[in-house]
Structures are given as structure tokens and as C-alpha cells.
Structure 1
């Protein structure tokens, strides 16, 4: 296992749903210990690495998200992608958590519409199927293992969204380096509905798991 999380829980004997809940609590607690400076530095690195990846691949549209405080910051990446002339799609949660997308129009345009929800752009909202136009899809995660199994926040939003991603798109989970686990040492609990990712984007670089 790579990383610095000192006390990963023993998930043996737990059903996948219960194991996920225990692991989520552990990761969230660990994330809360990071200083604002460390999160800022991580976000700056993710901005450089992610924008370089997108420009090297000549991506025209990237699906991303506006991070919340303890997540790896995506603010610098959003600004770098936009400055490079790349269209950036961000999630918009409609009534009843309806899944839609909106265009990123600057950090000052983002609004937290309800407590606990990620910041969203104003302007036109597009159907969930709009994500199929993205050739690079960067998704939030609490952790990921080297088989491409990702642990999300528990709402299942991205598992449903990823059903509409283009089969040619590259899908990466955005995590801190110590949240990438070797599947042979610490596999992430998995259920049949869980959507896999191709790799991880961290402040240290891009880790590819699935060709």
C-alpha cells in the first residue's frame, strides 16, 4: 500500500456496504487533519498536472467538479483548463438530486446552493448525457485501489453518471497520494453497481491502473 494513512481499519468479515461506511469515516477523519496550506499546495500541483494532461491529450471538453474544503482542491485546475480554452463541465444537482451539467464560467460564478452540496455554476443546465462530450472525466473519490475500484461519498451520483461517459473517455479519480491503495494489500470494498476508473490524478502525478 502506498501512502501515509497510519491506521486503516480491519474490514474483514464486513459486508461491502458496511465496510465502505467504516472506510469512509477513516478517510474523512484523516482528510480533516490536513492543514489549509497542504490542501492548497496539493491543489496547485493538481492544477499543473491535470492541465498538462488535458492539453497534451488535446481534450476539448473535460468533466470536472468544484471541490469541497477537505477534498483535493480543483480550483487551480478549473482555472488552468478554462484559460487553455478547454470547455469544463461541472455537476449541477437539480430538484431531487437530478443529475445535470453546467459550463464553468469562473470561480466567482460558483454558488453553494444548499449546505453540503458542492459549488455549482450558474447559467444553462444540460442533461446528464452531456457528459458524453467529455474526453477526460475527473471524478471525486475518498480513495481508489489499483484495480480501479473507487470509493465515493456514498450517494451513488457518479456511479450513475459514469454510465453515460463516452467509452473512449479517460476517467480518473482525484485523490491525495496516500489514498491510492495496492489492491493486493488493501482492496477497496466493491459492490456490483460500482463504476470503475482508469486511474488516479494526485498531486504527485497520474497513476494508470486500467489501459
Structure 2
């Protein structure tokens, strides 16, 4: 059963990544502006913490959405097979190149448990199902980190990446919501 699910996930990942590569730069810019507006409209107070991410490659969005979060923002730091580490985002000048073509905060690391203090977690995804199953890129970085979270988990995807079904494994942590360029935030 598990190898069957893994194979289905791999096939779906390949298809979705190919579709993402086909999105034009103009469409990406429109999506990024829409996502930035939706993020700015989130009900987040200045005394709260949001764990977010910097989109890379063909992921929807861009760094501008972080400006709309008027609170403490933590960004992930990939540490190999461990859960993600986290550091405070202080702006573009505080970012350094890292593994997987990522940009990471250069400030002090807060440890993997920092995600537990978040009021909201924006999670990168290739797809999410209507019942909250998230498909990531397959490295397991978020799978090892999300079990620490009590706050709402929101997958960030394109509108066409909200699917009826996504193959699920026992370790998959379900999303509570999805953020898309056209629909904004929808709770699942």
C-alpha cells in the first residue's frame, strides 16, 4: 500500500512540477501580487508570530508577501534530515543563499521548536486536497516539522493545485486552510 501511494505521489509531483514550469513570468507576477494582497489581509496581530517561507523557482508568490505580515515572521532553515530550524526575517538584507536555491535568514537560529509558538503557518505545497492532504516536494522537511504545530496550517498553492484528492500516507499532516491567488484564504 505505501509503495503504491508513494508512486502515485511521485507521478503527481512530476505532473505538477511540469505544469508549474509552464506558467509564464507575467502570470507569476500577477499571482504574486494577488497573494501579497491576500497575505496583507490576513487577521494577524503585531504581537503574533507567523511562520512563512520565501517562494523559490516556480512556487507561487514572491518575497513581497512578507511585507504584508505586520508581525514577527519566522523563515525556515533546512538542516538536513532534522525538522526545520527557524530564524526571524529582518528583511532582504538579512537573507543569505542556502541549499536548494533557498534564501535563509542570517540571524540567530531559534531551533525546530520555534514553529510551535506560531499563530499561523504558511506552508509551501505542490497541491492540497479538499480534505487538507498536502503534497510537498518529497524531501520530508515539513513532514518532520508540522507535528510540532498547534496553530492553523495553510498551504500556499495556485488555484489549479487545489485538488479533489491527494494521495495520503500516515505521516502526512493535514492542512487547515489553503491560500490561492484567486480565492485567497479558504478554510478546509
TM-score by length of 2: 0.92
User: Matches of 1:96 and 1:146 in 2, distance apart?
Assistant: 29
Is 1:123 the counterpart of 2:137 in the alignment? no
Give the gaps of 5 or more residues in structure 2. Answer: none
Shift of 1:199: 1.5
Question: 1:146: which partner in 2?
Answer: 130
Is 1:179 the counterpart of 2:161 in the alignment? yes
Is 1:92 the counterpart of 2:77 in the alignment? yes
Shift of 1:109: 2.4
Is 1:106 the counterpart of 2:94 in the alignment? no
Q: Secondary structure at the match of 2:87?
A: strand
User: Matches of 1:129 and 1:54 in 2, distance apart?
Assistant: 23
TM-score by length of 1: 0.82
Q: Secondary structure at the match of 1:197?
A: coil
Question: 1:48: which partner in 2?
Answer: 37
Q: Which has the larger radius of gyration?
A: 1
Question: 1:188: which partner in 2?
Answer: 166
Q: Secondary structure at the match of 1:62?
A: strand
CA-based RMSD of the aligned residues comes to 1.7
**Corresponding pairs, count:** 185
User: Matches of 2:10 and 2:124 in 1, distance apart?
Assistant: 17
Is 1:77 the counterpart of 2:77 in the alignment? no
Deviations 1:44-75 (A, max 9, x none): 111111121133x6771100011102001241
Question: 1:26: which partner in 2?
Answer: 15
Shift in alpha-carbon separation, 1:50–1:59, aligned structure 2, 3 A: farther
